[in-house]
């Protein structure tokens, strides 16, 4: 399995949000290879960790851009902030502060990911979340292969750079496979991620 230097040095831009646990990064790399887009990242975090070819920063708001998401995508949506719907643009937007009718980010970001995948803009995608309510309010997640890691997530704090083993939630992965490889690619996901937890779907 390909190894990358996953030790963090200094990440200035993420403030109080959390980063993908380091122990999962080799498995993400083994499944996806080169990542074309991380729509929710920062320049310094990307250099240290996933090294996607293209990212959207919180300031750019990858949820509310005009151009489509493309290629191979990894997404760990914000754990802070809220999403609100713009009637003028007819799109969702993310911000740190909540507005009227604002909703938790994970569901909105996931539905954006699926929409781009169904349009075939995205070739393949992996979604990670620590938001358990998705299993109830977003039932379509069960249409896709998922992995529930055995252990709680050692999340990395974007500003303090310490790790925190969540006292409440386990994270989970949702996989959107390459349509032209079908079950072969799903089997690859099952094989790789069965090393860290239970794979269903």
Instruction: Yes or no: say if 146 and 163 are a contact pair by the CB < 8 Å rule.
Output: no
The residue range of the domain holding 52 is 27-151+171-200
pLDDT for residue 63: 87
Residue 2, pLDDT score: 41
In this prediction, residue 94 carries a pLDDT of 72
Question: Cβ–Cβ contacts within 10 Å for residue 33, how many?
Answer: 11
Q: Is 83 helix (H, G, I), strand (E, B) or coil?
A: strand
The torsion angle over the Cα atoms of residues 180, 181, 182 and 186, rounded to 10 degrees, is -140
List the one residue out of 31, 34, 30, 86 whose CA is nearest residue 61.
86
Do strands 54-55 and 172-176 pair parallel, antiparallel, or not at all (unpaired)? unpaired
Number of domains the chain is built from? 1
Q: Would you state the pLDDT for residue 24? A: 92
Nearest to 18 by CA among 161, 188, 193: 161
In a domain, 82, yes or no: yes
Q: Would the pTM count as exceeding 0.85?
A: no
Instruction: Give the model's pLDDT for residue 103.
Output: 61
What whole-number distance in Å separates Cα of residue 36 and Cα of residue 39? Answer: 10
Q: Is position 56 within any domain?
A: yes
**Tokens coding 119:** 């349009």
Half-sphere exposure of 8 (CA within 13 A, CB side): 25
- Does residue 121 belong to any structural domain of this protein? yes
Burial of 94 (0-12, 13-18, 19+ CB in 10 A): buried
- In this predicted structure, what is the pLDDT of residue 168? 60
For residue 109, being part of any structural domain is answered with yes
User: Look-up: residue for tokens 């039932």?
Assistant: 139
Is residue 8 a part of any domain in this protein?
A: no
Instruction: Report if residue 7 sits inside a domain.
Output: no
pLDDT tens track, the chain, 201 positions: 444 433 333 334 445 567 788 889 999 999 999 999 999 887 777 877 789 999 988 788 888 888 899 999 999 988 776 777 777 777 777 766 655 455 668 889 999 999 999 999 999 999 999 888 888 889 999 999 999 999 887 777 655 555 555 546 678 999 999 987 667 899 999 999 999 999 998
Cβ burial, residue 39 (10 Å; 0-12/13-18/19+):
buried
- Token pair listed for 138: 């977003």
Strands 82-86 and 91-95: antiparallel
pLDDT value, residue 11: 38
Q: 48 in a domain, yes or no?
A: yes
Is residue 21, in this structure, part of any structural domain at all?
no
Q: What pLDDT score does 130 carry? A: 87
Q: What is the pLDDT of residue 5?
A: 39
């Amino acid at each position: 399995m390909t190894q990358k230097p996953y030790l963090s040095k200094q990440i200035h831009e993420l403030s109080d949000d959390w980063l993908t646990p380091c122990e999962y990064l080799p498995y993400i790399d083994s499944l996806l290879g080169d990542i074309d887009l991380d729509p929710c990242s920062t320049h310094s975090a990307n250099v240290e960790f996933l090294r996607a070819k293209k990212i959207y920063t919180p300031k750019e708001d990858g949820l509310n851009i005009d151009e489509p998401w493309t290629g191979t995508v990894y997404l760990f949506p914000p754990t802070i902030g809220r999403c609100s719907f713009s009637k003028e643009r007819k799109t969702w937007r993310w911000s740190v502060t909540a507005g009227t009718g604002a909703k938790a980010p994970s569901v909105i970001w996931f539905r954006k990911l699926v929409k781009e995948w169904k349009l075939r803009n995205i070739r393949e995608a992996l979604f990670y979340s620590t938001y358990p309510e998705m299993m109830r309010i977003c039932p379509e997640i069960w249409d896709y292969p998922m992995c529930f890691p055995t252990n709680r997530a050692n999340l990395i704090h974007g500003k303090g750079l310490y790790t925190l083993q969540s006292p409440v939630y386990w994270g989970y992965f949702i996989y959107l496979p390459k349509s032209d490889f079908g079950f072969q690619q799903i089997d690859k996901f099952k094989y790789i991620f069965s090393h860290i937890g239970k794979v269903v779907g």
